[in-house]
Structure 1
Amino acid sequence: MGTQRGHRRPDVTELELVGGPEPLVVGLQEFDEHWAIVYRDHERRIRDALSPAPVEIEHIGSTSVPGLAAKPIVDIVVAVDDITAEEDYLEPLLSAGYVLRVREPGHRMVRTPQRDIHVHVFERADPAIEEYLLFRDRLRTDADDRALYERTKRALIDQAWEDMNDYADAKTDVIVAIKARARSAAEAEEHR
């Protein structure tokens, strides 16, 4: 999933990409049940770092979808009360061993130095969180969309990507279509 946010990509002037563009160097792996264990370990690490503040933490991205091939990068979303109050969450996350990668309006992303964990921080109730969960839940429950997404990723992963974000952006049309089907299914279910 990487930077797939499901919403408007910020203006270049709004985005601080700490360290600059990075080429995509990891490939897809078959689903690994160990990713859920890695997520739980980092969930505890994040809760401990941000305690006693109330935070919502979810495993997102392809590593959160059983049966889906993924880059071996565990994506996590964290909801905080005030994204502008970096002293409440960014400093504690950096002290817990994460490093800052992205700073943009409404979103921060920290990761492990090994680049195998990406923690996306948003303000509570940011629509991006709902978008992540909508997409994840659709892939968890719909085999056809899960297969479509995996085919798309496999078709793109072998290309040379100067920046991982460009790879993520190349999946946008498929992601938008899958989320549209997820919304339609949810609306149909509400009317039953």
Structure 2
Amino acid sequence: MPSAVIVEYDAAWPVRARELLAEVRSAFASLPGSDGFGYEHIGSTAVPGLGAKPIVDLQVRMPDLPPLADLAELLAPTPFVPAHGSRPDSPGVHRDGRRPGDQADDAVYEKRLFHSPAEGAILHVRRADSPFARFVVDFRDWLRCHPEQARRYEQVKRRLADEHAGGPDYDDYTRAKTAFFTEIGPRLRDWAAGS
């Protein structure tokens, strides 16, 4: 697997996200209740000015998760195919991790993950009641409202990318970022509860 490489913010990222989300929305139009699904640009590429890996993260929230094969069939006209991670237990492929303080049933952490290497994009399909789905949106919005924390997060990511450059396991970079999430978690929760 390639190492994480952090690049300067690119104003084309939100444009690409909108275009890809439009394709996904069209692909999911036949699913019951699809007009009520949440379609979101998440992750660092969704925070103006924030350096990031040049991979656009997208999220769809829906009440229930269809089988992976069913979603893959619907997404066939789009550039997205199922993602499998670098190994069977890669974090965030089949389920998200429980965040400190989350009190929900384990079933709500299940997810479906797709990617498009050609488009440099990842699609996370999560349940609407997933605490992690809420977390990634809150985190994005918190970074947008706290530019000093966005700069700090970018520094953390650049340091971790350097530390894990050429490492045998790309997932090490992903896991290492959780220390930042854990540290800011209480402030983020308070901020989200008040906004």
TM-score bracket, normalised by the shorter chain, equals 0.7 to 0.9
Q: Which stretch of structure 1 is more off in the superposition, 64-73 or 80-89? A: 80-89
**Which amino acid is 2:121 matched to?**
I
Contact 2:17 2:41 in 1 (8 A): yes
Deviation (angstroms), 1:89: 2.6
Matches within 5 A, 1:22-171: 22-24=1-3, 26-53=4-31, 54=34, 55-86=37-68, 88-102=70-84, 103-105=93-95, 106-114=110-118, 116-159=120-163, 160=165, 161-171=167-177
Q: TM-score, normalised to structure 1's length?
A: 0.79
Deviation (angstroms), 1:29: 1.1
Instruction: Quickly say closer, same or farther: Cα 1:186–1:99, change in 2 above 3 A.
Output: closer
Instruction: Quickly say closer, same or farther: Cα 1:81–1:185, change in 2 above 3 A.
Output: closer
CA distance in 1, matches of 2:189, 2:11: 28
Q: TM-score, normalised to structure 2's length?
A: 0.78
CA distance in 1, matches of 2:94, 2:191: 32
Contact 1:138 1:182 in 2 (8 A): yes
Deviation (angstroms), 1:88: 4.7
CA distance in 2, matches of 1:139, 1:164: 24
Q: Secondary structure at the match of 2:129?
A: coil
Matches within 5 A, 1:7-18: none
Q: Secondary structure at the match of 1:32?
A: coil
Cα RMSD over matched residues? 1.9
Deviation (angstroms), 1:134: 1.2
Q: Note the residue ranges of structure 2 that are not aligned, 5 or more in a row.
A: 85-92, 96-109
CA distance in 2, matches of 1:104, 1:136: 22
Q: Which stretch of structure 1 is more off in the superposition, 166-175 or 109-118? A: 109-118
Q: Note the residue ranges of structure 1 that are not aligned, 5 or more in a row.
A: 1-21
Number of aligned residue pairs: 167
CA distance in 1, matches of 2:69, 2:170: 28
Contact 2:68 2:112 in 1 (8 A): no
Deviation (angstroms), 1:165: 2.0
CA distance in 2, matches of 1:186, 1:92: 34
CA distance in 1, matches of 2:50, 2:79: 28
Q: Secondary structure at the match of 1:66?
A: coil
Matched residue, 1:5:
none
